[in-house]
Structures are given as C-alpha cells and as structure tokens.
Chain A
Amino acid sequence: MRKRLYRVLVALIGALMVLMVGSTVAAQATETPPPDATAIQVTLQDEANKDAQGNPKPIEGVTLVVTKDGDKVGEGVTDAKGVAIIEVEELGKHVVSLDEKSLPSGTVLDENTKNEATVQVRFQGPNNRAIFPIGVTAGEQSSFGKDLAQNLRAGIVFALVLCLAALGFSLIFGTTGLSNFAHGELLTFGALMAWTFDQLFKTGGLATVSVILAGIIAVVLGGVGGYVQDKVLWGPLRRRGTGLIAMMIVSIGLSIFLRYLYQYFYSSSTRSVSQYSGQQREEHWYYLGLAFADREAITVLISIVTITVVCLWLAKSRMGKAMRAVSDNPALAASSGLRVDGVITNAWVIGAALTALSGVLYALTLQVNVFMGMRILLVIFAAVTLGGLGTIWGSLVGSLVIGLVYELGPLFGVPTSIKEVGPLLIMIVILLVRPQGILGRKERLG
C-alpha cells in the first residue's frame, strides 16, 4: 500500500483558499477484493490519528456520492476499513463527493477544501480509484497560532494576486470611469488561456517550460483581448457619447456573454494547470526545478515584481503620467494636447494584461474554472472601493486589506463557509462612511 501525503494548496477562486499542512488525511485506493461490476473504490484514512504501528486509522461510516454530468449515479458508505466500493454503470468522468456531515465527530474537512474529486472510469471492473486531494484536520489539533500563520500565508498570496486584478480594474476605471462588470471574465480568460497552452506544450519538447510559456502567452493574449475590446466595443461607444450607466449595463451583457462562451468551449468542470490532480502534478513541477510549495513563492515573487514595475511605470514613464493625467481630469488632459483615446486604449491593454496575469497565477495556485472570474468580481470591487476607486495606491492597499480579511476573517468568527461576507461587508461600510476610499481624495466624488 503506497501512502501519499498530499500537501495541497487548494482554492476555489473567490470562494475558498486554504493551505493544508501536517495533519491531512489522504484518501486513496486500496487493493480490496473487487466485485465483478465496474466500480469506483475509495478509501478514507485519517492521517492525524494513527495507531501504535503508525498506520493511519480508517474512517468509517462516511457517505460518498458519485455523480455523472450532474446526475447522481451511485452512493456508498465507507466500511470499518474505510473502504467504499461504489458501482457505476458506464465509463467516463465521474465526480465523487464526500458528505461532510457524515464525518465522525472530531474529524472535519480542512477548511473549505474541495470535498469532491473527479475520477476517470477507464476500466470495466473495480480498479477505478478515487484519489481525493482532500485535507481533513482533526478539530482539536489546530492551534490558533498555527492557523494564523497558515491563513496569513494564504492571505498574502491571495491579496497579491487580487492586487493585480484590482490594478487592472483601476487603470480602466480611472481612465474611462467604467465600472466594468466583465472584468472577472478578463481574469477567467487569462486562466483559461494558461491552461489551454499548458495542455498544448506539456507533452512536446517544450514540456520543461510549459507552464511559463503558457503563462506568457496568456498574458499577451489578455492584452490583445483588452485592445480588441476597446477597439471593437468601448471605443465606439465612447465616441457615440454613451452614458456610463448604459456602458455598465453593456458590461453586464458582455460578462454573461463571455462567461457562457467560455463554458461552451471549456465546460463547467474544474481544471488545473499541468495535471493538478494525481502524481504528475509534482513531477511536472520538478521539471521546473521547483518543489511544490514553491508555487506560492513564485506567485508572490511574480506579483510583487509586476506590481512594482507597473507602479514605477505609472510614476515615471510618459504614458504612465499621461494615464494619471487622464484619470485626474480627462477634459483638462484633452485640452492640454493629450490623445485621450490613445491613453485609454493603453489602459485597456495593460489593465487586461495585468488581469490576465492575475488569472494565470490563480490557475497556478488554485484551479481553473469558467466561473472563477464571476466569483472574484465582487471581491475585486471590494478591494478597489476600499482603497478608493480609480486610485492606484488605493487599489494596492485595498487588495492587501481585503485579501487578508478574506483569509483571516474565519479566525475571528466569520463562518468559514461564507468568507466572502467579510470583504463585502467591509466594502459596504467603507462606501457608507468614506465613499472616496482610504486613500481617495474627497474631491473626486460627486
């Protein structure tokens, strides 16, 4: 019996993000005698609770449900050995989900870890194993200090990635005044592109740098996407003199349009860059000479470098200054000879590219799903309003605060299942008390 202890950084975009350490349970396949029929076989063991020989204790009486294409096709309960064999009728992709309520008391799933796994049923017979990247912590084992350290780490990663998306939003909002409800879809676009090109490269000669290459392409495509969007849609609308409210509603339409277009081509299943599930994940990362946990480090590094570069660029370069001038007062900028439209196009390209990068980093640290952008959109709104709509420094500070609140909230009484509530409530309160945000100037508001 092979035992693997997955150290997984799992997060559903905008919904959950958790670092699992130490006391995890690996659910894995065993060699239990099979029935004749085609079946999925799952074993649950509690890593945190070992017997005298150091073997993990099996978890009994946990309900597992198997679904295919959203329809329930089977259900099983783990026996005294922690094994459940669930018969299925056809081959193909199945989703095994674990009923958290049936876990024995004292054992809880690690906060918000995905409680389901996708199994490809390839064989007639019972050798289809469900590998759960599921973390379980024994409730009594977590100390506040450890939790704080974990959540702080998760919070910093989340905050930095959020920051990129918020920066993109701010650039576009600053220059155009548009509250872009399709901004989340820009992020999804980056993630999807990263995934697509990673799929393309990972088997060929470029396998060693597959993820990096895919990421770069995704960011470039994101920028191109921003350019096209501005040229085809927003630019003409601006020239027609379309009101901001009307544009905002157009952006809602665009967001719905794009989201379902993505779903059309990518379906609603959750994916991960370079075989996130299964052993290949780690092997793949060894290609890059990185241990798994380095993923976070890389994400943090890339984010900080990008943010610094963008800020310097805004502060020093001609275009950066022009952009700030347009944000400040478009009419004045236009009358002093700035090509406002060109500046706005630039803002779209850079804003979209930054957001795509944010999506790529999400895809790396978390998973890829066509709905990820929609889920994160309100958190981005929260971050930029907190800092002060349209101000660059504001969105940096706002993202950091929101990212940390998001992850640390649960430690201070916010129910973990509704972590989003924290940032949203903060945003509401900020809008009420200080609508110009922490760093915004009051004069900017009407």
Chain B
Amino acid sequence: MDADMTDQTKTDTAQTGPAGLVGVSTEPGAKKPDPILVADSITRTFGGLTAVDVEHVEIQRGAITALIGPNGAGKTTFFNLLTGFDQPNTGSWSLEGKSLKGVAPYKVARLGMVRTFQLTKVLAKLTVIENMRLGATGQKGERIWAAPFKFLWGKQEDEVTNKADELLARFMLDKKREDFAGSLSGGQRKLLEMARALMVDPEVVMLDEPMAGVNPALKQSLLGHVKSLRDEGRTVLFVEHDMDMVRDISDWVIVMAQGKIVAEGTPESVMADQRVIDAYLGAHHDTDLSELDEARLEAEVEAEIAQEEDSK
C-alpha cells in the first residue's frame, strides 16, 4: 500500500505537460494534475453587466491551453485580470501558489507570467533590436544611478543583445533588426511581440489572439513558434478565434461564454460538446430570435465599448 502511494505521487509529479491532461474531467473548473495557474471565484462587472464570472479554473503546467468563446465572452477581460492590468471585483488567483491579488502588472511579469496584446503593442518608434533589448530583465543600466556610466552596464548589454539576436533569428526577424518596429507588418509585429516576451524568460506566456490580422503564410510559422514554447517547457495560455489553430496546437481548451466557463476538454471533445455549440450559436438557436433579451444585448454592447475605452 505504501509503495502504491509513493507510486501515485510519483506519477502525479510526472503528470506535467500535455501528458497529464489525459483523462481529466471535462466539467468546467476541472482539477489538473499539475496546475501552474489557479483562479477562484473571479468576477468583474462593468456597470450592470458581469463581464467575467469564473468559479474555478486551473491551467496545466507545460501545456498549451486555449481560451475560446464567442465575442464578448469575457476572454480578454479575464486575461487582463489574470495579468494585473485590470482588477476583479472579487476572487483570488495564484501563480505557482503565490497569490497575485492586487499585484501590479509589472510585478506579475517579473514573477514569470508575460502577456501579449490583442492589438500589438510594439514600440513603433524604436528599432526591432531595441524592442527586444527592452524585454530583458534585471538590467543594471535601467537604474538611473548606473545609467550614465556605460562601463557598469556595457557588458550586460552585450549579453542581452546576443540573446536578442538569437531570438530574432529564431523568429526570422533578424533581417529587420535595425528597422523601426512601426514599419513591420501585422504578422511580424505579432512575432516581435512574442519574441520580446521571451526576453523576459517567462514561465507562463499569455497570448491574446496571436493570429488576429496575420496573413496565412505567416500563420504556420507562428503556430510552430507557439509549439516550440511548449517544447521548451513553458506554459502557454492563449485567446483565439481561429478554430484551426485551436485544433492544431492546443492540448486543452477552455470555453467561455457570457463571462462563465461553460466547458473544458481536449480540442476534439470540446468541438463536439453540446454546451460549446450552444455557447457559439446561442443556447436559443432553435427558438425565436425575438425572444432574445434586448436589454441584455444592449448592456453587453455598452460593456464592450466601455471595456475598449478602459483599455485605451
């Protein structure tokens, strides 16, 4: 019996990454064998509308988890809440057991959870390599006292540059090294943002719609890059509309609708799930449209506008 127990724990610790997701329940809020990110009873309201109302969610370490859902489901808001860019009304969440409640966004990033943005935020008037260098953490030259004296930070800067060049090569941006980031195409900006996030050496990478506005030719290479993140042992959580991408690369899918998590599971099981179909087509897709609550629709639209303005 004792041997059994130790065996059990051994398998538990071994249950990291995609492998650990085999056999996990598909109910919303299912327990994962090795969660890196755990959130509990998170709510966020805008005016009268509850944009996010998540009871419990766990994100498996070392796996690629997709967060999908129809427009206005609260995915991006949930992202903002997890990364500290917005504060929830209630709830608690933690990264590797460390609570992130009330932690400023920059500290969240330092703890190893870095995000990208739906509308890319490359620094248009800096060159690509400068964008990359900015990502490096713990730079001595970023302290005002040390900044004027190059001998204090010059060596570190070289190391940072080397690392940046490697990443640029990997993301095939090395030819654009000296270009202003503003001159890049939409897809290249997504790549740059991802590469820049990697300069932080994050444990968890959060990608907000990495495929939006990317031309099909670049999509494949982007997919490869996301997979390579997992292969390096990082955890990836991404929001996406592109179902092909979700099916292609995600190990686990979480479906949100109207602020709630309605289903979880492997891509295949989720695509077949009646709850997901309901969420996308509307639970009332076989009832008369006029029965839809107009007031609620209106409130949703307003909340979305408000959210957009909030994030400006």
Contact = CB atoms under 8 A, between A and B. Distances in A.
Report if A and B touch in the complex (beta carbons < 8 A).
Answer: yes
Interface of A: 329, 332, 443-446
A329 B305 contact: yes
A446 B309 CA distance: 6
Contact of A444 (B46, B47, B309): B309
14 contacts: A329-B305, A332-B305, A443-B46, A443-B47, A443-B305, A443-B306, A443-B309, A443-B310, A444-B309, A445-B309, A446-B309, A446-B310, A446-B311, A446-B312
A335 B105 CA distance: 35
Interface string B42-67: 00001100000000000000000000
A327 to B, nearest CB: 13
A443 to B, nearest CB: 4
The secondary-structure label for the interface of chain B is helix
A446 B46 CA distance: 14
Contacts of A444: 309
A152 B310 CA distance: 40
A434 B29 CA distance: 38
B115 to A, nearest CB: 19
Interface of B: 46-47, 305-306, 309-312
A137 to B, nearest CB: 52
Most-contacted residue by chain B among A332, A443, A444, A445 (CB, 10 A): A443
A329 B306 CA distance: 10
Given A329-B305, A332-B305, A443-B46, 4 more contacts: A444-B309, A445-B309, A446-B310, A446-B312
A445 B312 CA distance: 9
Contacts of B311: 446
Contacts of B47: 443
Nearest to A329: B305
A444 B306 CA distance: 8
Contacts of B305: 329, 332, 443
Contacts of A445: 309
A224 to B, nearest CB: 35
B125 to A, nearest CB: 13
B305 to A, nearest CB: 7
A445 B311 CA distance: 9
Contacts of B312: 446
Nearest to B302: A443
Nearest to A332: B305
B57 to A, nearest CB: 27
Most-contacted residue by chain A among B47, B309, B312 (CB, 10 A): B309
B299 to A, nearest CB: 13
Nearest to A443: B306
Contacts of B310: 443, 446
A280 B46 CA distance: 62
A444 B46 CA distance: 12
A332 B305 CA distance: 10
Contacts of B309: 443-446
A446 B306 CA distance: 10
Which 7 pairs, one residue from A and one from B, show the smallest C-beta to C-beta distance?
A446-B312, A443-B306, A443-B309, A446-B309, A329-B305, A443-B310, A444-B309
B87 to A, nearest CB: 13
Contacts of A446: 309-312
A108 B310 CA distance: 54
A444 B312 CA distance: 10
B153 to A, nearest CB: 32
Nearest to A444: B309
Nearest to B307: A443
A296 B312 CA distance: 45
A332 B301 CA distance: 11
Nearest to A328: B305
Nearest to B305: A329
A444 B47 CA distance: 12
B172 to A, nearest CB: 32
